[in-house]
Amino acid sequence: MTKRAAPQPTDQRLATLHALPVTLPEVSSASHLREGGLPLLLYTITAAVLSWPLLRHFTTHIVGTGADPRHNLWVLWHVKEALLGRQPFWDLPMLYYPQGATLLTHGVGPVTGFLALPFWPLGPEAAHNGAVLLSLILTAWAGYLLARTLRLQQPVALFAGLFLLAAPMHLAGMLGHISKAFMAGPPLVFLGLVNTLRPNRSPAWALFTGAALLLTLAHNGYQFVFTVLILPLLALLILWRRPAELRQATARRLAIAAIACLILAGPLLLAITSAAGGSGVQVDANLGSLDLQPDALEFLLPSAETSRFFGERVARFLAPRQAQPTIESTVYLSWTGLLLAGVVLLRGKRRSRTWLVLAAVLIVLGLGPRLQLAGRTMFTEYRLPLILPYAWLTALPGLDFMRAPGRSMMVGYTLWAVAAAMGLQHLIRAGRPELERTRRWALPFLVSALILLEFWPIAWPVQRLRTTPDFYRHLAEDEEMYGVFDLPIKPAPDAWEVGYSAHYQIYQMTHGKGIAAGYISRTYDTHPLFPCLIPESQHETPDLFVNGQPADCRHNLLYQLAANNYRYVVWHQPQPEYRFYQPGSWGHAQSAELIELLYGDRPPLAADDLARVYPVPPLEEAMETIIPALERGEGWRDWEGDFRWAASPATLFITVPRHQQVTLELLPAALYDPTPGNEGVLHLTLDGSPQPPVTIRPKQPVAIPLTLSAGRHQLDLRLEAGNFRPADLGNSRDTRLLSFSVRWIDLRLPGN
């Protein structure tokens, strides 16, 4: 029987720990090329294959489908322009011009913009595709470095990076979610923390940890939230594993790491929080989690969205079970990964189980706010849902932007890859020692092949950017800043106007002028400048009237454009390749009607097969075209048949051609009244100036006199009782903020 070695005295153990080498395990000066070059070469080749046909279309198309790749490209362009000093870094003054927008609350931060910089000389397509390819490679390399930091053998560490590279959530970024393509931040944060808490490493690793956390925050909010959630758990588990005599020193290093993270990432986090609370910015998206949460089966089955060999079969299997896979539910753990995790669970050491436990935390969160299993969300004869931790997590302040639970696996796959790699290393070391050298490379090669078979993706779709009109190339030579109003706003009634505006962002990369909208993931709930034209593109509303006639805001568009420094209206013409925008289509007819209304039979300033350009008159001339108009701003909800709810404050815009006194009449339908009496006090603010309050009662018309000068005015209405949520009153799942509802609003002018 082998005799166990006697434990070392405490002082000797400390001396031994502090005497350990500072370099990564098994790394010497002679093997730097093998440690650095081999992984990068392997991951570059693998990324090129898994991203095919990206390289084939590297300079001619952008990889991905829909509007996401186009707005990603625009972000890459904005970063380049900001670094050249042509635009501010975080502000986006050229979108929603001149109101502007912000990159702080956007789902894709500027990090990948830096990765695109070397490729811009080859064109915008190469910049986009190069950033995507580098994102894949660097993510895998970061996973490899973390595995080596955890003292895994190089073949095993190579497997960990390969697992992370091929993970479905990672490769799903190829469809347009570039935030998923770059997932290098979390493994670098964990690497930094592990090194910070090691006694034989410099405390300066705390700065690396903070910098990596800043990188993660600057790239994507989901990755930051889930990384911050795991960091203290990882630190506590490391602290718990340390001998008692080392815990105090480890706790001090942990405090240093926390301070470094606060100093480096804190200012950006405060800026994001401030931007998210800005007026009109739409952030609360939690309820979308119910539609985007993965089915539990999707963790156990290959991705129906991305798997080449199994995707169609899985889709057919899930369809009758009412599970609807999306790009947000690419969370497959792999059968090979599950077997390796089983090895860790049954045979692994406490250190390896740590990573398995942390991965399990994010897997559970990835299930969403309630359990969905084979399409079912209600269980037992009582038909009750099973509430999961994600519902409580997203109820915390500041986390109301989270609408895709499966994105927990953007961090979860790092932990899962490490846990699987530790299971693989245990298999290599198990059994007869003389065979370990053979197993050292053979087993990683075998399990890597199995992983690639399970994860092997589809051939990714690509798209060609639209041809830019020559007139925009002419505008690029003009250094003056002004706006360009693009038509159509959207090609079809059910089209998403924000996504469609990504085409105009691509044009903006040429002309460099402001545009009226822009695809930004967190932007205005109501358009700040043209609320009745964008996003609805519907000029008639059932509840707004001027002198008893339906209000039509389109007549004053030239005045609004001139007042906001717009110079041109550009009507883009249908092209054979524009699937939903053809001659006679809804979008074409809407645009033609608007041009006819504004310009009559006046010829365009410039015209070709791609676009017709019309000038916006000077403000003095545009003032002469004003007619009385009434339009809604922020705070109003959808029309519900015979009334419309509003949240306080709700905004109306009133336009009159000359100085005059008008009367605003409205018929309330219902109002929030927490006290007896069934009446409320409506406080009014006209262009920032308080007006006399009025008392309102349901189903009783009220008249509000106003004195207005020529032009457009903003009237804010705020019910003194405030807002309520129907869900808080019971018997409803409606979580909207509501205050009062109206049946109609009529702007009455003298003599009518």
List, for residues 439-498, the tens digit of each pLDDT value.
889 999 999 999 999 999 999 999 999 999 999 999 999 999 999 999 999 999 888 888
Which range (213-217, 279-283, 545-549) has the least confidence? 279-283
Query: For residue 279, what pLDDT band results from cuts at 50, 70 and 90?
Result: low
Banded pLDDT at 285 (limits 50, 70, 90): confident
- Residue 298 pLDDT exceeds 70: yes
User: In 3D, which of 205, 204, 231 has the Cα closest to residue 216?
Assistant: 231
Task: Region of 432 please: left (phi>0), alpha (psi -120 to 50) or beta.
Answer: beta
pLDDT of the residue at 673: 79
For residue 13, the model assigns a pLDDT of 47
Total residues found in the chain within this entry: 752
Q: Are 505 and 74 in contact (CB under 8 A)?
A: yes
Contact 547, 752 (CB under 8 A): yes
Half-sphere exposure of 217 (CA within 13 A, CB side): 20
Q: How far apart are CA 561 and CA 534, in angstroms?
A: 13
Residue 229 buriedness (CB in 10 A; 0-12 / 13-18 / 19+):
middle
Neighbours of 512 (CB within 10 A): 18
Residue 678 — very low, low, confident or very high, per pLDDT cuts 50/70/90?
A: confident
What is the structure's pLDDT at 31? 63
Can you tell me the mean pLDDT for 504-520? 96
What pTM, to 2 d.p., does this model score? 0.91
pLDDT confidence tier of residue 579, bands split at 50, 70 and 90: confident
Grouping H, G, I as helix, E, B as strand and the rest as coil, residue 332 is coil
Give the orientation angle of helix 154-166 with respect to helix 32-50, to 10 degrees: 20
pLDDT at 278: 65
Beta carbons within 10 angstroms of residue 395's beta carbon: 11
DSSP E strand boundaries for 90-235: 91-92, 101-102
Task: Give the mean pLDDT of the chain.
Answer: 90
Residue 204 has a pLDDT of 95
**CA–CA distance, 329 with 308 (Å, rounded to integer):** 16
Percent of the chain residues past pLDDT 90, beyond the cut: 76
Mean pLDDT, residues 714-737: 85
Average pLDDT over residues 332-358: 93
**CA atoms of 660 and 652, how far apart (whole Å):** 18
Widest CA span in the chain? 110
What are the CA-CA distances from residue 512 to residues 74, 229, 473, 604 (Å)?
12, 41, 9, 22
- Tokens linked to 350: 């406490």
- Helices 32-50 and 124-149 cross at an angle (nearest 10°) of 130
Determine the pLDDT at residue 283. 67
Quick one: pLDDT at residue 7?
Answer: 47
Extract the tokens encoding 425: 């290393």
**What is the pLDDT at residue 27?**
45
Average pLDDT over residues 90-110: 94
- Residue 435: per-residue pLDDT: 72
pLDDT grade, residue 526 (50/70/90)?
A: confident
Tell me the pLDDT tens digit for each residue of 558-576.
999 999 999 999 999 999 9
Q: Which residues contact 6 (CB under 8 A, 6 or more apart)?
A: none
Q: Give the Å distances, CA to CA, from 737 to 97, 543, 678, 682, 734.
A: 28, 20, 19, 17, 9
According to the model, what pLDDT value does residue 706 have?
95
Helical packing angle, 205-219 and 221-241, nearest 10°: 150
Residue 242 identity (one-letter amino acid): R
Give the range among 208-212, 621-625, 675-679 with minimum mean pLDDT. 675-679
pLDDT digits (tens, 9 = 90+) for 5-56: 444 454 444 444 443 333 344 444 456 677 778 899 999 999 999 999 999 9
Task: Flag whether pLDDT at 751 surpasses 80.
Answer: no
pLDDT of residue 5: 46
**3-state DSSP helix/strand/coil % of the chain, to nearest 5:** 45, 15, 35
Instruction: Please state at what angle helix 335-347 crosses helix 409-429, rounded to 10 degrees.
Output: 60
Q: In this structure, are residues 207 and 162 in contact, taking their beta carbons and an 8 Å threshold?
A: no
Q: How much is the average pLDDT of 377-398? A: 91
pLDDT, average across residues 432-440: 78
What value, to the nearest 5°, has the Cα angle with vertex 38 and ends 37 and 44? 85
Q: Could you tell me the CA-to-CA distances from 595 to 295, 582, 602 in Å, in that order?
A: 48, 17, 10
pLDDT tens-digit readout, 122-176: 999 999 999 999 999 999 999 999 999 999 999 999 999 999 999 999 999 999 9
Report d(CA 352, CA 361) in Å as an integer: 15
